[in-house]
């Protein structure tokens, strides 16, 4: 009897190892991510955050084997914990709030997604930060759209200003975040540590999030609903990044497929911008909700160290069709104007212009609203006639 049970346990363990990798003490070489590493395929600007490498489909997932063996049966169970929400408080540091917004990549010539996670304390003014992590729009079926980490140590000054003590363990903790497609049920961070996905109204339809607080090295792998590894398609469409060129947003750029024209505003002392040299049609190379940034401009506001920006977004699949809805939009009191959380880059206001979105991201809603009211999107990519 004992020999039979032992043989059964060994057979199950061998099968699980072949399917998922060795769950305990594996010596199989793995590609791991240490907090502080940066992804060459993604863009990270400012701060100490990092973006995770995109792991190849051959990466294996580790599971925790729970063997309840009898003479008749034994089972293999995928042990997990649920994701934290996109917005919440840091475990063990309830005074410290975190938020993980998701926005389109606004850089002219890009098609992809960005996030700028941030920490805040209610009684302390938020720090100025424009840091964000961005990735290009990967092909349909790619499980992980965007992922990265934010060390709790980035909030050290905030915690010090609120006289909140931080233990060494808390100081070495990191906020891990990932935005995934509907194929993903969980992400295995390392053997025995599987985090299941969570929905959020601010995300596009079918998207989910994984938020976890971890320390040490991790090896993120996407899993489906039965714990199988989802192959990673890390190939981004070749045309998601088009070479931009500089232009003066204070005047029309009739030869450009799109441009942003700013009427006079007393508090604007200077402006500059870039436009995409062409507008590609990416078709089935990207998901239907991907947006392409055709132009972006920045504005120097008198008395402010922050420079709000504006962008024109088109549908990446078919720029001649109405651009898809931005994820997380909320209607405002002004007809046709919507808002969304832009993270550390500031709030976003957007309105439709022709078949495009014209949006402004800046330090405050009031500044964004004034700027949006005097901007005009132009060019043949915005409307067939090239005018608003």
Q: Is the pLDDT of residue 58 over 50?
A: no
Six-digit token string for 317: 């699949």
Lowest mean pLDDT among 252-256, 280-284, 325-329: 252-256
Query: Beta strands 291-301 and 309-315: pairing type?
Result: antiparallel
Residues ≥6 apart with Cβ < 8 Å to 97: 87, 88, 89, 90, 119, 120, 121, 122
pLDDT confidence of residue 49: 55
Q: Is the pLDDT of residue 103 over 80?
A: yes
> Distance between terminal CA atoms of the chain?
81
Q: Quick one: DSSP state of residue 41? A: T
- Average pLDDT value for residue range 240-256: 68
Query: Tens of pLDDT along 105-128?
Result: 999 999 999 998 889 888 666 654
pLDDT confidence of residue 221: 94
Count of CB atoms within 10 A of residue 243's CB?
Answer: 10
pLDDT confidence of residue 29: 30
Residue 154 sits at φ, ψ, to 5 deg, of: -65, -20
Domain residue ranges of the chain, discontinuous segments joined by +? 29-59+79-223, 238-378
Residues ≥6 apart with Cβ < 8 Å to 73: none
On average, the pLDDT of the chain sits at 77
Provide the pLDDT confidence category of residue 265 given band limits of 50, 70 and 90. confident
Q: Is the pLDDT of residue 252 over 70?
A: no
pLDDT confidence of residue 127: 58
Q: Which of 142, 148, 127 is nearest to 45 (CA)?
A: 148
Three-state secondary structure readout of 236-271: CCHHHECCEEEECCCCCCCCCCCEEEECCCCCEEEE
What span, in angstroms and rounded, lies between the C-alpha atoms of 365 and 247? 26
Q: Is the pLDDT of residue 3 over 50?
A: no
Query: Tens of pLDDT along 268-300?
Result: 777 888 998 889 999 999 999 999 999 999 988
Lowest mean pLDDT among 28-42, 116-130, 250-264: 28-42
Burial of 317 (0-12, 13-18, 19+ CB in 10 A): buried
Residue 69 sits at φ, ψ, to 5 deg, of: -95, 140
């Amino acid at each position: 009897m004992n020999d039979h049970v032992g043989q059964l346990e060994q057979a199950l363990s061998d099968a699980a190892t072949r399917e998922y990798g060795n769950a305990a003490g594996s010596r199989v070489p793995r590609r791991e991510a240490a907090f502080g590493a940066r992804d060459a395929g993604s863009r990270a600007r400012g701060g100490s955050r990092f973006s995770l490498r995109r792991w190849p489909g051959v990466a294996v997932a580790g599971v925790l084997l729970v063997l309840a063996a009898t003479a008749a049966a034994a089972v293999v169970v995928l042990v997990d914990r649920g994701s934290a929400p996109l917005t919440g408080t840091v475990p063990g540091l309830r005074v410290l709030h975190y938020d993980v917004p998701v926005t389109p990549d606004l850089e002219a010539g890009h098609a992809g997604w960005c996030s700028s996670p941030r920490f805040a304390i209610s009684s302390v003014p938020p720090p100025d930060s424009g840091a964000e992590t961005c990735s290009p729009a990967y092909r349909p079926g790619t499980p992980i759209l965007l992922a990265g980490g934010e060390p709790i140590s980035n909030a050290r000054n905030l915690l010090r200003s609120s006289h909140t003590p931080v233990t060494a363990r808390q100081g070495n903790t990191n906020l891990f975040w990932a935005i995934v497609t509907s194929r993903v049920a969980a992400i295995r961070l390392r053997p025995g540590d599987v985090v299941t996905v969570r929905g959020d109204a601010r995300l596009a339809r079918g998207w989910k999030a994984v938020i976890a607080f971890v320390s040490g090295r991790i090896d993120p792998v996407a899993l489906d609903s039965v714990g199988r590894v989802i192959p990673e398609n890390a190939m981004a469409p070749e045309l998601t990044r088009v070479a931009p060129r500089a232009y003066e947003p204070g005047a029309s750029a009739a030869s450009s497929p799109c441009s942003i024209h700013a009427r006079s505003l007393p508090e604007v002392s200077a402006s500059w911008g870039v436009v995409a040299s062409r507008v590609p049609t990416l078709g089935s190379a990207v998901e239907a909700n991907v947006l392409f940034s055709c132009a972006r401009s920045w504005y120097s506001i008198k008395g402010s160290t922050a420079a709000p920006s504006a962008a024109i977004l088109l549908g990446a699949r078919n720029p001649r069709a109405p651009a898809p809805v931005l994820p997380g939009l909320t209607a405002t009191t002004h007809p046709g104007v919507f808002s969304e959380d832009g993270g550390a880059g500031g709030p976003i206001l957007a309105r439709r212009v022709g078949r495009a979105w014209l949006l402004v991201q800046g330090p405050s809603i009031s500044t964004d609203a004034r700027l949006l009211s005097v901007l005009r999107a132009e060019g043949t990519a915005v409307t067939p006639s090239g005018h608003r």
